[in-house]
């Protein structure tokens, strides 16, 4: 990791904060790259969401969109390459090596920074997942460039720079951030913040292969094992089509059962606002919002949740938001589509019952046919 | 063992208000707290010290008033606190912050012994980038161990550490080398109550105040606004949705009718949902 001490050239003069003066050696940085996050044989869907965004940026800039696929030799890596094209990439940079099988910071940072140095992208996007955040920080520091984390909107300015918008101060404000005098301009985006683009069957296009320049012996950190989350308890909230969540308005931990009952009846995932996690009523992976999961379901039902801004930013992508709250002035009614001002503790069982009545004949039909 | 913990003093953002007209943040009177995520890093560091012996140094970069946050950590049992404070640091983004902190950590190492572990929190609640930790690791050439949930063992003689790291879909068991940088996951421990002895220690101890020069930083162009490649161009309030929620009328109605009406309203707005829910709902 001697690259840590590498000195990136600094802009000739002036305050980076006030003036645009992209140094000459950055002027040949072109094209938009998306890191395709492949872990244990699976491409994280956030990579496809980013390809969708990357496509728009590349088209506006009139440049190419590349997918970056790092993985072990074999079928899973090659199918990630295929998928990158199917979701809009014009070309793919591919590094295959056995030591890229499990994510580790050292080899992935090396592979990524080598690629950037060799091919000079102007924009590099990564998912704000545990992997993406681990990688983005060290890649940006190695390259000594700017990184805007957890963006909610990406655009290119009239002069071609990346305008990255993200929430700040606990979500109460948004800010637009530029990386003026450095390249690449890096940004991360959380899963589900951007819509999933349509998959098209496209032939595999140009693939540029690279060798990994480190060997296992050079890598200090070793993976001793991996313990998958138990399937039963695992919440896949972010990608659920229907989500039911409860907040402090439920009053007591036992009442969470009412939320779980409704979720089960309609085949939804259940979640909660942050205070419930803090009270230990539910585990942290069930928290929805700015410091929890961003969700984008077709239907979101919130019971006893006030709709604080930090909660709101995590659910705004839902197609239909339904709020159950005793307080007609609760902020959640400002962004919900449908609301009912009533006691959730009494209403939830009735709703579960009504859904069950309505849905069960269909379910039976389906089973019978 | 010498452990450095990086903490940040942050505004209690639950209490931040935005000026309705000027769209600026009204900071006056907003209380500050230790970034909640950093408390887990601090507690883990204290536990390691209690098990393996050694010292915990807490470090923050911030305005003079960040001394309060540091004093609090002494009350929890930290051995020493360093406040890196200088007007040259104003306006730092993550790259400039990690530069200044890594320089200060190097100085802490020279002065009080090279750290074996540097801790940061997972993220801050104001910056919220989770990038300062990785930035420090890269600059100081420390092994980077992020999202650590548990530290089963540290072997000081062999310079080896084992950690459990949370990742997408599971937990990685990793073996790595000291010195390393750990970003600690939230909810992994519970901060101790400081002892009376610690409280007395906190009251009579000095928080060390270092300027950029004290921390051995010569290149001021890499600090603060000047050293920050990213620039905040615009700050604005999120736009409110134009229409409010359509409310279902509730007075004098039985719950069963209300529930049916809500379902009807849901399905009118999202006709495709019927399939979705029916399909999912099959036992
Ligand atoms: C930095 C930061 C990050 C945060 N991140 C998140 C996050 O990721 N996710 C998150 O959710 N929060 C987050 N928060 C917390 C957030 O600010 C709110 O405090 C939280 O969302 C409130 O949770 P709540 O709506 O469950 O509780 P409350 O705000 O207390 O609301 C309870 C609601 O229930 C209603 N109610 C009461 N009784 C009943 C009843 N019987 N039936 C129906 N309704 C009833 C009340 O009218 C009220 O509107 C964060 C805060 C900070 C400072
Ligand atoms: N100004 C600072 N002083 C000390 N530590 C900091 C500072 N800013 C960030 N950190 C540390 O870096 C972690 C990640 O911060 P962030 O990248 O802002 O989310 C925090 O949890 C702190 O441990």
Q: Three-class SS string for A91-108?
A: EEEEEECHHHCCCCHHHH
**pLDDT greater than 70 at residue B280:** no
Strands (E), chain A: 32-36, 38-39, 42-43, 65-71, 91-96, 123-127, 147-151, 153-156, 162-168, 173-179, 185-189, 206-210, 222-228, 242-246, 269-272, 299-303, 320-324, 338-340
From the CA of B121, the nearest ligand is 2
* % residues pLDDT > 70 (chain B): 92
Q: How far is the CA of A306 from the centre of ligand 1 (A)?
A: 5
Q: Which residues of B92-125 are buried (b: 16+ CB within 10 A; e: fewer)?
A: bbbbbbbbbbbbbbbbbbeebeebbbbbbbbbbb
Maximum pairwise Cα distance, chain A? 75
Two structure tokens written together for A128: 């704000």
Torsions phi, psi of A92, nearest 5? Answer: -135, 135
**For position B182, what pLDDT does the model report?**
98
CA distance A325 to A306: 7
Which ranges constitute the DSSP H helices of chain B? 36-52, 67-76, 94-112, 132-140, 196-204, 255-269, 273-281
In A, minimum Cα distance to B190 occurs at A278
**For position A284, what pLDDT does the model report?**
87
**For position A233, what pLDDT does the model report?**
55
**For position A14, what pLDDT does the model report?**
34
Q: What angle do CA A270, B277, A193 make, to 5 degrees?
A: 55
Please state, in angstroms and as integers, the Cα–Cα distance from residue B242 to each residue in A335, A337, B248, following that order.
Answer: 9, 11, 19
From the CA of B60, the nearest ligand is 2
Strands (E), A84-170: 91-96, 123-127, 147-151, 153-156, 162-168
**pLDDT greater than 70 at residue B19:** no
Q: Please indicate whether residue B26 or residue A134 has the higher confidence score (pLDDT).
A: A134
Two structure tokens written together for B233: 């161009």
Q: Give the tens place of pLDDT for each residue, A235-266.
A: 689 999 999 999 999 999 999 999 999 999 99
- The helix/strand/coil state of A362 is helix
A335 touches A314 (CB < 8 A): no
In A, minimum Cα distance to B167 occurs at A130
CB atoms closer than 10 angstroms to residue A80: 22
Two structure tokens written together for A229: 């989350």
Q: Give the tens place of pLDDT for each residue, A100-112.
A: 999 999 999 999 9
CA nearest to B41, candidates B77, B83, B5: B5
Residue from the list A130, A354, A367 with its beta carbon closest to the beta carbon of B147: A130
Torsions phi, psi of A61, nearest 5? Answer: -85, -10
Q: How far is the CA of B97 from the centre of ligand 2 (A)?
A: 8
Q: Give the tens place of pLDDT for each residue, A131-176.
A: 999 999 999 999 999 999 999 999 999 989 999 999 887 677 788 9
**For position B283, what pLDDT does the model report?**
41
CA nearest to B261, candidates A258, A65, A347, A206: A347
Q: Please indicate whether residue A62 or residue B19 has the higher confidence score (pLDDT).
A: A62
**For position B202, what pLDDT does the model report?**
93
CA distance B107 to A230: 45
Using a CB–CB cutoff of 8 Å, tell me whether B250 touches chain A.
yes
pLDDT along chain A (369 residues), means of 10: 36 43 88 96 96 98 98 96 97 97 96 98 96 95 93 93 87 85 95 93 94 94 89 73 97 97 95 95 92 92 94 91 96 94 96 89 49
Using a CB–CB cutoff of 8 Å, tell me whether B128 touches chain A.
yes
Decide if B259 and A353 are in contact by the 8 Å CB cutoff: yes
Looking only at the bridges linking them, the beta strands covering B9-11 and B17-18 are unpaired
Two structure tokens written together for B177: 């080398």
A337 touches A307 (CB < 8 A): no
**Across-strand partners of B208?**
B82
ipTM, 2 decimals? 0.86
Mean pLDDT score across all residues of chain B: 90
Q: Is the CB of B189 inside a 6 Å radius of any atom of ligand 2? A: no
Q: Please indicate whether residue B18 or residue A93 has the higher confidence score (pLDDT).
A: A93
**For position B55, what pLDDT does the model report?**
98
3-state helix, strand, coil in chain A (%, to 5): 35, 25, 40
CA distance B106 to A70: 34
Q: Is the CB of B6 inside a 6 Å radius of any atom of ligand 2? A: yes
CB atoms closer than 10 angstroms to residue B67: 18
Q: How far is the CA of B152 from the centre of ligand 1 (A)?
A: 35
DSSP structure string for B116-169 = SEEEEES--SSS--S-HHHHHHHHHT-EEEEEEEEEEEEETTTTEEEEEEEETT
**pLDDT greater than 80 at residue B264:** yes
B34 touches B74 (CB < 8 A): no
Looking only at the bridges linking them, the beta strands covering A65-71 and A153-156 are unpaired
Chain A residues with CB inside 8 Å of B93's CB? Answer: 146
Q: Is the CB of B129 inside a 6 Å radius of any atom of ligand 2? A: yes
CA nearest to A29, candidates A89, A118, A154, A136: A118
**For position A19, what pLDDT does the model report?**
54
**Across-strand partners of A299?**
A242, A320
Kindly state the average pLDDT of the residues B5-11. Answer: 95
Span of A48-52, A361-365, B15-19, B38-42 with lowest mean pLDDT: A361-365
Across the beta sheet with B117-121, the strand order is A222-228, B170-177, B160-167, B143-155, B180-184, B117-121, B2-6, B55-61, B80-84, B208-210
**For position A8, what pLDDT does the model report?**
36
Two structure tokens written together for B157: 């003689």
Q: Give the tens place of pLDDT for each residue, B83-104.
A: 999 999 988 888 999 999 999 9
**For position B21, what pLDDT does the model report?**
65
**pLDDT greater than 90 at residue B67:** yes
Q: How far is the CA of B255 from the centre of ligand 1 (A)?
A: 25
**For position B14, what pLDDT does the model report?**
63
Residues 141-200 of B with CB under 8 A from A: 141, 143-147, 162, 166-177, 186-187
């Amino acid at each position: 990791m001697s690259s840590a001490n590498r000195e990136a050239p600094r802009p000739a003069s002036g305050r980076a904060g006030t003036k645009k003066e992209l140094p000459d050696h950055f002027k040949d940085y072109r094209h938009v790259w998306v890191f395709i996050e492949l872990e244990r044989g699976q491409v994280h869907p956030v990579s496809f969401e980013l390809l969708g965004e990357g496509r728009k940026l590349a088209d506006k800039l009139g440049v190419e969109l590349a997918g970056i696929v790092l993985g072990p030799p074999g079928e899973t890596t090659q199918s990630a390459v295929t998928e990158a094209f199917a979701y809009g990439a014009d070309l793919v940079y591919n590094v295959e090596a056995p030591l890229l099988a499990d994510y580790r910071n050292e080899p992935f940072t090396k592979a990524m920074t080598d690629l950037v140095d060799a091919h000079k992208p102007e924009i590099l996007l990564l998912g704000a997942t545990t992997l993406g955040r681990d990688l983005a920080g060290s890649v940006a520091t190695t390259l000594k460039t700017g990184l805007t984390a957890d963006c909610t909107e990406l655009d290119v300015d009239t002069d071609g720079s990346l305008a990255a918008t993200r929430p700040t101060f606990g979500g109460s404000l948004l800010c637009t951030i530029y990386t003026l005098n450095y390249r690449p301009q890096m940004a991360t985006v959380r899963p589900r913040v951007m819509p999933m683009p349509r998959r098209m069957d496209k032939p595999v296009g140009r693939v540029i292969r690279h060798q990994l320049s480190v060997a296992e012996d050079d890598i200090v950190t070793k993976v001793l094992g991996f313990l998958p989350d138990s399937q039963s308890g695992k919440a896949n909230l972010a990608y659920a089509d229907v989500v039911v969540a409860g907040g402090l308005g439920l009053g007591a931990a036992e009442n969470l059962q009412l939320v779980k009952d409704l979720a089960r009846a309609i085949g939804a995932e259940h979640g909660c606002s942050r205070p419930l996690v803090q009270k230990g009523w539910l585990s942290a992976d069930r928290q929805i919002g700015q410091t929890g999961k961003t969700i984008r379901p077709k239907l979101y039902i919130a019971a006893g949740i006030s709709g604080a801004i930090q909660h709101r930013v995590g659910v705004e992508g839902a197609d239909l938001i339904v709020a159950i709250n005793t307080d007609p002035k609760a902020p959640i009614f400002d962004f919900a589509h449908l609301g009912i001002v009533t006691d959730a503790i009494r209403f939830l069982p009735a709703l579960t019952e009504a859904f069950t009545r309505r849905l069960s004949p269909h379910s039976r039909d389906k089973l019978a046919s | 063992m010498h452990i450095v913990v990086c903490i940040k003093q942050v505004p209690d953002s639950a209490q931040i208000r935005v000026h309705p007209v000027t769209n600026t943040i009204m900071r006056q009177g907003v209380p500050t707290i230790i970034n909640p995520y950093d408390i887990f890093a601090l507690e883990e560091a204290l536990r390691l010290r209690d098990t393996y012996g050694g010292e915990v140094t807490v470090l923050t970069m911030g305005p003079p008033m960040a001394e309060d946050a540091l004093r609090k950590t002494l009350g929890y049992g930290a051995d020493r606190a360093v406040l890196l404070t200088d007007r040259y640091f104003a306006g730092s983004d993550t790259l400039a912050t990690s530069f200044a902190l890594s320089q200060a950590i190097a100085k802490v190492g020279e002065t009080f012994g090279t750290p074996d572990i540097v801790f940061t929190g997972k993220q801050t609640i104001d910056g919220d980038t989770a990038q300062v930790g990785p930035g420090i690791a890269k600059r100081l050439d420390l092994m980077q161990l992020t999202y650590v949930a548990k530290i089963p063992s540290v072997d000081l003689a062999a310079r080896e550490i084992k950690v459990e790291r949370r990742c997408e879909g599971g937990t990685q068991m990793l073996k790595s080398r000291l010195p390393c940088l750990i970003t600690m996951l939230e909810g992994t421990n519970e901060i101790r109550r400081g002892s009376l002895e610690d409280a007395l220690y906190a009251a009579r101890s000095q928080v060390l105040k270092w300027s950029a020069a004290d921390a051995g930083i010569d290149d001021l162009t890499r600090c603060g606004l000047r050293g920050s490649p990213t620039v905040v161009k615009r700050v604005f309030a999120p736009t409110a949705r134009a229409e409010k929620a359509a409310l279902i009328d509730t007075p004098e109605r039985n719950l069963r009718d209300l529930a049916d009406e809500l379902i009807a309203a849901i399905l009118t707005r999202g006709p495709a949902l019927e399939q979705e829910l029916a399909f999912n709902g099959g036992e």
